[in-house]
Amino acid sequence: MTKVKLIARDLEMSFGARLLFKADALSLCQGDVIYLQGDNGTGKSTLMKILAGLMAPTKGKIETEGFAKNSWWRRNPLLGKAVYLHQHPYLFDGTVEYNLTYGLNFSSETKAKAKQRITQAIEMAQLGSLLHARASNLSGGERQRLAIARAWILQPKLLMLDEPTSNMDKDSQELVLKMIQQLKHEGTGMLLSSHQNCALTSICEQQWHIEGERVTTAYQHPESLPAQESLYVIAN
């Protein structure tokens, strides 16, 4: 089976006259676990949104491998293969249970298997006592646990985690770590940002760093990247 892969080439992102960052070539493949580093304001969240198909860069192109036609660029972030989770995640208006079961209609699994995964997610994220609570009434840590549990249920091919434990106490961080470790074991490709090294960043096997308006990596080999299907191209 072909692995899902995103490749950004000659990427540039600016806001007005301000250059946020440039990158010659970035590759995120199913199975990769990458730690995205950078100071506040360097563009970590913006880069994640670009790779998740939620924003277009000022220049450059995003190419794909292994995606079904038109399956990557979708306005609903839960329906695409690349899922982006902000540190203040969007949750649907309704109960915790509604948020967890929302993806059932779009799952390729049988209903029995999908429901079994929901049950596992509820247990892993310790959301059982909150199923009938409104998502809007949850604490910051509870909201983040719910958002990650919802993504875990959908088994995304690629997952962007933007400061995933920033609003959590130690116990919640441990619960999230277990879910993310399970996704890693299942082969989900992940790009994870954090202001500091922690238990989550310790599971990462590669690093990207935004500094001095450049995105640098330890494995950047543009000449070895194969030609892929182009999703969009912004002219230089």
Domains defined along the chain, listed by start: 5-234 (3.40.50.300)
Q: Which residue has the tokens 């001095």?
A: 212
Which pLDDT tens digit goes with each residue over 97-124? 999 998 777 666 777 888 899 999 999 9
Structure tokens at 134: 């409104």
For residues 64 and 176, is the Cβ–Cβ distance under 8 A? no
Residues 6+ apart with CB under 8 A from 168: 140, 141, 144, 145, 176
- Residue 202 has a pLDDT of 86
Q: CA Rg, the chain, in Å?
A: 18
Q: Residue 118 to residues 57, 107, 126, 183: CA-CA distances in angstroms?
A: 35, 12, 12, 14
Q: How far apart are CA 175 and CA 173, in angstroms?
A: 5
Angle between helices 111-124 and 170-186 (to 10 degrees): 150
- Residue 218 banded pLDDT, cuts 50, 70, 90: confident
- Would you state the structure tokens that stand for residue 47, as one six-digit string? 């880069």
The total number of residues written for the chain in this structure: 236
Spatial contact of 100 and 145, defined as CB atoms under 8 Å apart: no
Query: Among 144, 102, 109, which Cα is nearest to 127's?
Result: 144
pLDDT tens column, 117-169? 999 999 999 999 999 999 999 998 899 999 999 989 888 889 999 988 877 88
The reported pLDDT for the residue numbered 198 is 74
Mean pLDDT of the chain: 83
Q: How many CB atoms lie within 10 A of CB 212?
A: 9
Predicted TM-score (pTM) of the model is 0.84
How much is the pLDDT for 82? Answer: 79
Say whether pLDDT at 73 is over 50: no
